[in-house]
Amino acid sequence: MPDVSGTMEMNKSLLAREARQAKIKAFKEGWHRLCQNKVAVIGLIVIIVLLFIAIFAPVLTPYSYDKIDPLNAYQAPSSAHVFGTDGLGRDLLSRVLYGTRYSLAIAFSAQAVGIVFGILLGALAGFFEGLLSDVIMRFCDIFQAIPSTLMAILVSQTLGAGFISTTIALAVTTTPSITRIVRALILQIRNQEFIEAGRAINCSNGRLIAFHILPNIIPQIIISFTGGLSGKFIDSAGLSYLGLGIQPPTPEWGALLTDGKAYLRYYPNLVLAPGLFIMIAALAFNLVGDGLRDALDPRMRD
């Protein structure tokens, strides 16, 4: 009687290895495709520049971002102050550059927290069908019935202004849609044969999840992460504008907009500069997000 289980083990690990190699090849192809997408590459460069600015802000800024100089308040852009100065004489360029740290940090953390919870909930809903899954999906329905800006405002008001509360407020708006996506993906993958094969060989649930299911949802997660990131810049700025979110004197871009909003008529540079940065960041992430989607989603191939 031939040793069937031994052969099956070998076949299984062969299959798994082939599958991994195919995945790696797919990633390489995806990366290659991304690099061919000129606008996506531009976006990527901009993001790297922004990260650079964020990390090296203290070195790059000509003045300290909180250096108050009341005699030089409301200066128009000049060679001394490239973006001009604000109401307390602080150099706007320095504040905007330093604010890159806060804005990037908020956007990334909000998106990351939102996605992590989304994956957890989506995985629970996808794996364990029945009451748990239904309850989670109903919660998603209800959360998504509230327009996301309003939800963010609501949560932000309850938790108050500040970094952590804003992160939570923004994360809450991301989680429901990620939950749905992850759940749909997991339902799809669960029913594929290689999972059944794994179970047939007594693969533990944990192994199944780690080695077979998670790798298949990674491309979509990457796409969702970058795609939603741009919205976070805009939403966090919006919250600041309303008096929630991050408030002055923290030089987060939204807070800078709030600072300047009363003086729009006379000192438009106060509003122009931070807004421009928000737009550039959002655009860069949108371009990269779209490029990633095109690169990793085989259906969009030409």
Partner 1 sequence: MTEPNIIKPVNVNKELLKVEDLYVEYSSNLEIVKAVNGVSFSLKQGETLGLVGETGAGKTTIARSILRILPDPPAKVKKGEVFFKGTNLSTLSEPQMRKIRGHEISMIFQDPMTALNPVLTIGEQISEAVRVHKNMNRKEAEIEGKKALELVGISEERYYEYPHQFSGGMKQRVVIAIALACNPELLIADEPTTALDVTIQAQVLNLIYELQQKNKMAMILITHDFGIVAETCDNVAVVYAGEIVEYGSLRQIFKEPAHPYTVGLFGAIPSMTGDVERLHNIDGMPCDPTHLPEGCKFAPRCKYASAECNKPISAVDLENGHQCRCIKAKDILMGKNE
Partner 2 sequence: MERYLIKRVLWLIPVVLGVAILIFSIMYFVPGDPAQIILGASATQDEILNMRHQMGLDKPYIVQLGVFLSDTFLKLDFGKSYVNHVPVFSALMERFPRTALIAVVCCIFQIIVGIPMGITAATHQNRWQDRTCVVLAMIGISIPSFWLAQMLILLFAFKLNWLPAFGITSWNSYIMPCFCSMLMGVANQTRFTRTYMLEQIRSDYIVTARAKGLSERTVIYKHALPNTLIPLITGIGGDFGAALGGTVIIENVFSIPGIGQYMVNAIGNRDYPVVRGSVVFLSIMFSLIMLLVDLAYAFIDPRIKAQYVAGSRKMVMKKGAHSNA
Contacted by 32, from partner 2, partner 1, none: CB < 5 to 8 Å by type: partner 1
Binding to partner 1 (CB under 8 A) within 6-35 occurs at 29, 32-33
Q: Is 150 in the site for partner 2 (CB under 8 A)?
A: yes
Asked if residues 53 and 60 have their Cβ atoms less than 8 Å apart, the reply is: yes
DSSP state of 203: -
Q: Quick one: which of 143, 163, 194, 211 contacts partner 2 (CB under 8 A)?
A: 143
Cα gap 48→45, rounded to integer Å:
5
Per-residue binding string, partner 2, 52-91, x by CB under 8 A, is ----------------------------------------
Binding residues among 162-181 for partner 2 as defined by CB under 8 A = 174, 176-181
C-alpha span between 14 and 27 (Å, rounded): 20
Residue 153 touching partner 2 (CB under 8 A): yes
Is 130 near partner 2 (CB under 8 A)?
no
Q: How far is the CB of 164 from partner 2 (least distance, A)?
A: 15
Residue type, 23: K
Secondary structure of residue 231 in the 3-state scheme: helix
155 in contact with partner 2 (CB under 8 A): yes
Q: Which of 61, 85, 133, 224 binds partner 2 (CB under 8 A)?
A: 224
**Nearest approach, Cβ of 40 to partner 1 (angstroms)?**
13
What are the backbone angles phi and psi of residue 279, rounded to the nearest 5°? -65, -45
- Distance in angstroms (rounded) separating the CA atoms of residues 101 and 99: 5
Binder among 30, 114, 126, 198 for partner 2 (CB under 8 A): 114
Minimum CB separation of residue 47 from partner 1 in Å reads 23
End-to-end CA distance of the chain: 51
- Is residue 111 a contact partner of residue 169, using CB atoms and an 8 Å limit? no
- Judge whether 136 and 125 are in contact, CB under 8 Å: yes
Contact pattern for partner 2 over residues 239 through 278, marking x by CB under 8 A? --xxxx------------x---x--xx--x--xx--x--x
Buried b (16+ CB within 10 A) or exposed e, 139-151: ebeebeeeebeeb
Instruction: Give the CA distances from residue 274 to residues 15, 246, 277, in Å, rounded to whole numbers and listed in that order.
Output: 52, 14, 5
Judged by beta carbon, residue 3 or residue 302, the one nearer partner 1 is 302
Residue ranges that bind partner 1, judged by CB under 8 A:
29, 32-33, 36, 301-302
